[in-house]
Protein backbone atom coordinates (compact mmCIF):
# COMPACT_ATOMS: atom_id res chain seq x y z
CA UNK A 1 0.00 0.00 0.00
CA UNK A 2 1.35 3.39 -1.02
CA UNK A 3 0.96 5.95 1.76
CA UNK A 4 1.62 9.66 1.92
CA UNK A 5 4.56 9.01 4.27
CA UNK A 6 6.12 6.57 1.81
CA UNK A 7 5.74 9.04 -1.04
CA UNK A 8 7.27 11.86 1.02
CA UNK A 9 10.14 9.59 2.07
CA UNK A 10 10.92 8.75 -1.56
CA UNK A 11 10.78 12.44 -2.50
CA UNK A 12 13.14 13.31 0.34
CA UNK A 13 15.65 10.67 -0.76
CA UNK A 14 15.44 11.74 -4.40
CA UNK A 15 15.74 15.45 -3.66
CA UNK A 16 18.29 15.04 -0.90
CA UNK A 17 20.66 12.96 -2.99
CA UNK A 18 20.45 14.98 -6.19
CA UNK A 19 22.86 17.58 -4.78
CA UNK A 20 25.58 14.95 -4.44
CA UNK A 21 25.52 13.67 -8.04
CA UNK A 22 28.88 14.48 -9.65
CA UNK A 23 30.28 15.79 -6.37
CA UNK A 24 33.51 13.80 -6.57
CA UNK A 25 37.16 14.50 -7.26
CA UNK A 26 37.11 12.07 -10.18
CA UNK A 27 34.39 14.22 -11.74
CA UNK A 28 35.98 17.57 -10.94
CA UNK A 29 39.46 18.64 -9.93
CA UNK A 30 40.32 22.16 -8.82
CA UNK A 31 43.52 23.54 -10.40
CA UNK A 32 45.37 26.81 -10.98
CA UNK A 33 46.59 27.90 -14.41
CA UNK A 34 49.97 29.53 -15.09
CA UNK A 35 48.14 32.87 -15.23
CA UNK A 36 46.78 32.31 -11.72
CA UNK A 37 43.17 31.58 -12.71
CA UNK A 38 41.30 28.87 -10.80
CA UNK A 39 39.53 26.25 -12.94
CA UNK A 40 37.55 23.06 -12.41
CA UNK A 41 38.73 20.12 -14.53
CA UNK A 42 36.09 17.55 -15.46
CA UNK A 43 36.69 13.84 -16.05
CA UNK A 44 35.54 14.18 -19.67
CA UNK A 45 38.41 16.58 -20.43
CA UNK A 46 36.35 19.75 -20.31
CA UNK A 47 37.01 22.59 -17.90
CA UNK A 48 35.48 25.80 -16.62
CA UNK A 49 36.69 28.85 -14.77
CA UNK A 50 35.76 28.84 -11.10
CA UNK A 51 33.76 31.91 -10.20
CA UNK A 52 35.79 33.27 -7.31
CA UNK A 53 32.85 35.40 -6.29
CA UNK A 54 30.83 32.21 -5.91
CA UNK A 55 33.41 30.38 -3.79
CA UNK A 56 35.99 32.77 -2.41
CA UNK A 57 39.30 31.63 -0.99
CA UNK A 58 38.84 32.09 2.71
CA UNK A 59 40.31 31.38 6.07
CA UNK A 60 37.68 29.22 7.67
CA UNK A 61 36.85 29.72 11.34
CA UNK A 62 38.19 27.02 13.65
CA UNK A 63 35.78 25.44 16.10
CA UNK A 64 37.84 24.56 19.18
CA UNK A 65 35.12 22.28 20.58
CA UNK A 66 35.61 18.56 21.19
CA UNK A 67 34.24 16.34 18.42
CA UNK A 68 34.72 12.76 19.49
CA UNK A 69 33.13 9.38 18.89
CA UNK A 70 30.17 8.95 21.23
CA UNK A 71 30.40 6.30 23.94
CA UNK A 72 26.98 5.08 22.78
CA UNK A 73 28.29 4.33 19.28
CA UNK A 74 29.07 0.63 19.66
CA UNK A 75 28.75 -0.60 16.07
CA UNK A 76 31.18 0.25 13.33
CA UNK A 77 31.82 -0.03 9.62
CA UNK A 78 35.42 -0.28 8.43
CA UNK A 79 36.04 1.21 5.01
CA UNK A 80 37.07 -0.99 2.11
CA UNK A 81 40.25 1.07 1.86
CA UNK A 82 40.95 0.33 5.55
CA UNK A 83 41.69 4.01 5.94
CA UNK A 84 38.71 4.88 8.10
CA UNK A 85 35.93 3.61 10.35
CA UNK A 86 32.45 4.93 11.10
CA UNK A 87 31.12 4.25 14.58
CA UNK A 88 27.36 4.53 15.05
CA UNK A 89 24.55 3.81 17.50
CA UNK A 90 22.40 1.04 16.06
CA UNK A 91 19.44 2.29 18.12
CA UNK A 92 19.54 5.54 16.16
CA UNK A 93 20.96 4.47 12.78
CA UNK A 94 20.70 1.34 10.68
CA UNK A 95 22.61 0.35 7.58
CA UNK A 96 20.81 0.58 4.25
CA UNK A 97 21.81 -0.25 0.70
CA UNK A 98 24.00 2.67 -0.41
CA UNK A 99 22.74 2.29 -3.98
CA UNK A 100 19.37 3.54 -2.70
CA UNK A 101 21.01 6.91 -2.07
CA UNK A 102 23.94 7.24 -4.46
CA UNK A 103 25.55 4.76 -6.84
CA UNK A 104 29.04 5.79 -5.77
CA UNK A 105 28.39 5.76 -2.01
CA UNK A 106 30.35 3.10 -0.15
CA UNK A 107 28.10 2.84 2.91
CA UNK A 108 24.76 4.40 3.88
CA UNK A 109 22.55 4.79 6.93
CA UNK A 110 18.99 5.74 7.71
CA UNK A 111 17.49 6.95 10.96
CA UNK A 112 15.57 4.34 12.92
CA UNK A 113 13.00 6.90 14.02
CA UNK A 114 12.61 9.70 11.47
CA UNK A 115 13.40 10.51 7.86
CA UNK A 116 17.11 11.24 7.98
CA UNK A 117 19.87 9.65 5.93
CA UNK A 118 23.64 9.47 5.85
CA UNK A 119 26.15 8.19 3.33
CA UNK A 120 29.89 8.14 2.77
CA UNK A 121 31.68 8.72 -0.52
CA UNK A 122 35.32 7.64 -0.61
CA UNK A 123 37.98 8.34 -3.24
CA UNK A 124 41.66 7.43 -3.16
CA UNK A 125 42.69 10.82 -4.59
CA UNK A 126 44.09 13.37 -2.14
CA UNK A 127 43.30 17.08 -2.23
CA UNK A 128 42.27 19.35 0.66
CA UNK A 129 39.22 19.18 2.89
CA UNK A 130 38.25 22.70 1.87
CA UNK A 131 38.39 21.81 -1.83
CA UNK A 132 35.92 18.98 -1.21
CA UNK A 133 33.58 21.35 0.61
CA UNK A 134 33.91 24.01 -2.11
CA UNK A 135 33.04 21.51 -4.84
CA UNK A 136 30.02 20.39 -2.81
CA UNK A 137 28.75 23.97 -2.59
CA UNK A 138 29.28 24.57 -6.31
CA UNK A 139 27.40 21.39 -7.22
CA UNK A 140 24.61 22.15 -4.76
CA UNK A 141 24.02 25.62 -6.18
CA UNK A 142 23.52 24.14 -9.65
CA UNK A 143 20.44 22.36 -8.30
CA UNK A 144 19.25 24.55 -5.43
CA UNK A 145 19.69 28.13 -6.62
CA UNK A 146 18.50 29.49 -3.26
CA UNK A 147 21.04 27.42 -1.34
CA UNK A 148 22.09 28.91 1.99
CA UNK A 149 25.39 27.99 3.63
CA UNK A 150 24.44 27.98 7.30
CA UNK A 151 27.89 27.16 8.65
CA UNK A 152 31.31 26.26 7.28
CA UNK A 153 34.19 25.70 9.68
CA UNK A 154 37.22 23.61 10.54
CA UNK A 155 36.90 21.00 13.27
CA UNK A 156 39.25 18.46 14.73
CA UNK A 157 37.28 15.20 14.73
CA UNK A 158 38.85 12.29 16.60
CA UNK A 159 42.25 13.86 16.09
CA UNK A 160 41.92 14.76 12.39
CA UNK A 161 41.14 18.12 10.82
CA UNK A 162 37.95 18.22 8.74
CA UNK A 163 35.59 20.81 7.28
CA UNK A 164 32.07 20.82 8.71
CA UNK A 165 29.43 22.23 6.36
CA UNK A 166 25.75 22.94 7.00
CA UNK A 167 23.47 23.96 4.12
CA UNK A 168 19.76 24.43 3.45
CA UNK A 169 18.34 24.20 -0.06
CA UNK A 170 14.90 24.08 -1.65
CA UNK A 171 14.50 21.35 -4.27
CA UNK A 172 11.15 20.65 -5.90
CA UNK A 173 9.45 22.62 -3.09
CA UNK A 174 11.07 20.48 -0.40
CA UNK A 175 13.41 22.37 1.95
CA UNK A 176 16.29 20.09 2.84
CA UNK A 177 18.95 20.45 5.53
CA UNK A 178 22.45 19.06 4.92
CA UNK A 179 25.09 18.44 7.58
CA UNK A 180 28.38 17.13 6.17
CA UNK A 181 32.02 16.43 7.06
CA UNK A 182 34.86 16.57 4.52
CA UNK A 183 38.31 15.06 4.98
CA UNK A 184 41.26 14.63 2.64
CA UNK A 185 44.71 13.30 3.47
CA UNK A 186 47.07 10.36 2.89
CA UNK A 187 44.18 7.92 3.42
CA UNK A 188 42.20 9.49 0.56
CA UNK A 189 39.23 11.84 0.37
CA UNK A 190 36.05 11.25 2.38
CA UNK A 191 32.67 12.93 2.26
CA UNK A 192 30.31 11.93 5.08
CA UNK A 193 26.94 13.42 4.16
CA UNK A 194 23.71 13.62 6.18
CA UNK A 195 20.38 15.13 5.21
CA UNK A 196 16.77 15.48 6.35
CA UNK A 197 13.94 17.96 5.94
CA UNK A 198 14.69 21.43 7.26
CA UNK A 199 11.52 21.18 9.33
CA UNK A 200 12.89 18.22 11.29
CA UNK A 201 16.50 19.37 11.46
CA UNK A 202 16.42 20.81 14.98
CA UNK A 203 15.37 17.48 16.45
CA UNK A 204 17.64 15.35 14.28
CA UNK A 205 20.78 17.50 14.22
CA UNK A 206 22.27 15.99 17.44
CA UNK A 207 21.84 12.46 16.06
CA UNK A 208 23.32 13.48 12.72
CA UNK A 209 26.28 15.06 14.47
CA UNK A 210 26.80 11.91 16.51
CA UNK A 211 27.00 9.91 13.29
CA UNK A 212 29.40 12.44 11.76
CA UNK A 213 31.57 12.40 14.87
CA UNK A 214 31.84 8.63 14.51
CA UNK A 215 34.19 9.08 11.57
CA UNK A 216 37.67 7.91 12.62
CA UNK A 217 40.64 8.18 10.26
CA UNK A 218 42.99 5.23 10.65
CA UNK A 219 46.72 4.91 10.17
CA UNK A 220 47.81 8.33 11.41
What CATH number is associated with residue 184? 3.40.1000.10
Residue 103 has pLDDT above 60, yes or no: yes
Residue 84's φ and ψ, nearest 5 degrees, are -155, 165
Higher pLDDT, 183 or 135: 183
Convert the pLDDT of each residue in 128-139 to its tens digit.
899 889 888 887
3-class DSSP assignment, residue 190: strand
Provide the strand spans (E) within 14-158. Answer: 28-32, 38-42, 47-49, 62-67, 75-78, 84-88, 93-96, 107-111, 116-123, 148-157
- pLDDT given at position 6: 47
The bridge status of strand 148-157 relative to strand 38-42 is unpaired
The mean pLDDT value for 122-128 works out to 87
The mean pLDDT value for 110-137 works out to 88
Convert the pLDDT of each residue in 185-220 to its tens digit.
999 999 999 988 888 889 999 999 999 999 999 986
Please count the structural domains in the chain: 1
Higher pLDDT, 120 or 99: 120
| Parent domain of 132 | 4-217
The mean pLDDT value for 144-164 works out to 94
Higher pLDDT, 171 or 1: 171
Residue 151 has pLDDT above 90, yes or no: yes
* Cα–Cα distance for residue pair 12/100, rounded to 1 Å: 12
The mean pLDDT value for 155-177 works out to 91
- pLDDT given at position 16: 45
Query: Where residue 1 falls among pLDDT bands split at 50, 70, 90?
Result: very low
Amino acid sequence: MVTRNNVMRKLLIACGCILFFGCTLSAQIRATTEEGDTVLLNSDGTWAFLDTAEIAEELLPINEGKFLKSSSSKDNYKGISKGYQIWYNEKEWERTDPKNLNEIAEVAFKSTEMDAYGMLIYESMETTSQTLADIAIIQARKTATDLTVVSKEIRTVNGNEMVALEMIGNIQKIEIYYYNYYYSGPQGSIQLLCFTTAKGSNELKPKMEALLNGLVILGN
